[in-house]
């Protein structure tokens, strides 16, 4: 049991297609205790049954763009668990109109929203939960190839993911003082609720099957297994890294 008695806080399960759901399922199988956030009453109805199904300890309302809600979440987790061994950040958002057309048309508001929810939220969650992280705690966030190379339509989310990946490196320096590790998994395209909001997703998904070295798209399970490695002592010497789980697509010219 790779994660026996570890307490894993999971941000970003929306449904059973979410990457965070696949990660949580694998963590449970390896003996971890789980807790999940949900975004407001509407999504509580979706997350509650998923948490039950996965044997979660508790769920909590937390909009990661709201500092008070993050502080309240920290206080609740402190009360329920006292400490946190693993934090999964699988949260992002951009306005629909900013995920298509010309990036140059991005509004100031749209840029702020995308970077606040998709990148700054990781910094703030680390800041709030730092007092609860155990000696060997591990933090994992999710990124995409569009952070490093231009992928048409990904637009402002690519800029947000670039900021997220750089934040992982700077956070690794600060958190390393206490032997806490933070890494990103750059996952290939997976058919999630979020993915359905991006123009051109289907085309990219098909291209991977034709061009990627493994000639197939990756699954939630592929990503979850790398998350197990990063969350466990198997990756004890790894921090500040971006690990591609994308059938090798990123290595192509
Ligand atoms: C053109 C790029 C195709 C491959 C995209 C792979 C991918 C799929 C999903 C990803 O996660 C999100 C999460 C939220 C997000 O913002 C959204 C999603 C739906 C509606 C909306 O208004 N914003 C966009 C992507 C992601 O970062 C990357």
Query: Over its length of 253 residues, how does the chain's per-residue pLDDT go in tens digits?
Result: 999 999 999 999 999 999 999 999 999 999 999 999 999 999 999 999 999 999 999 999 999 999 999 999 999 999 999 999 999 999 999 999 999 999 999 999 999 999 999 999 999 999 999 999 999 999 999 999 999 999 999 999 999 999 999 999 999 999 999 999 999 999 999 999 999 999 999 999 999 999 999 999 999 999 999 999 999 999 999 999 999 999 999 999 9
Nearest-angstrom CA–CA distance, 203 and 102: 18
Give the active site residue among 21, 38, 144, 145: 144
> String of b and e for 31-67 (b: at least 16 CB within 10 Å)?
ebbbbbbbbeeeeeebbeebbeebebeebbbbbbbee
pTM of the model: 0.99
| Residue 170 a catalytic site member | no
Does the structure's ipTM exceed the value 0.95?
A: yes
- Tell whether ligand 1 has an atom less than 6 A from the beta carbon of residue 162: no
Q: Which atom of ligand 1 is nearest to the CA of 193?
A: 19
Q: Is residue 92 within 6 Å of ligand 1 at its C-beta? A: yes
DSSP 251: G
């Amino acid at each position: 049991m790779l994660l026996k008695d570890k307490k894993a806080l999971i941000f970003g399960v929306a449904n059973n297609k979410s990457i965070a759901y696949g990660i949580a399922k694998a963590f449970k199988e390896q003996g971890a205790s789980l807790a999940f956030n949900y975004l407001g009453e509407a999504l509580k109805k979706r997350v509650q049954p998923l948490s039950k199904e996965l044997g979660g300890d508790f769920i909590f309302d937390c909009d990661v763009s709201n500092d008070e809600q993050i502080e309240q979440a920290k206080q609740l987790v402190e009360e329920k668990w006292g400490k946190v061994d693993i934090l999964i950040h699988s949260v992002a958002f951009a306005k629909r109109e900013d995920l298509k057309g010309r990036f140059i048309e991005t509004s100031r508001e749209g840029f702020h929203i995308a970077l606040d929810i998709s990148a700054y939220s990781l910094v703030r969650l680390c800041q709030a939960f730092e007092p609860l992280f155990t000696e060997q705690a591990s933090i994992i966030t999710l990124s995409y190839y569009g952070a490093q190379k231009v992928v048409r339509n990904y637009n402002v989310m690519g800029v947000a993911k670039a900021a997220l990946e750089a934040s992982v490196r700077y956070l690794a320096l600060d958190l390393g003082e206490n032997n806490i590790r933070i890494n990103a998994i750059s996952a290939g395209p997976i058919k999630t609720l979020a993915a359905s909001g991006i123009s051109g997703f289907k085309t990219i998904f098909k291209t991977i099957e034709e061009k990627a070295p493994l000639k197939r798209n990756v699954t939630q399970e592929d990503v979850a297994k790398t998350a197990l490695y990063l969350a466990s002592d198997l990756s004890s010497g790894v921090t500040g890294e971006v690990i591609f789980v994308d059938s090798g697509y990123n290595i192509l010219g």
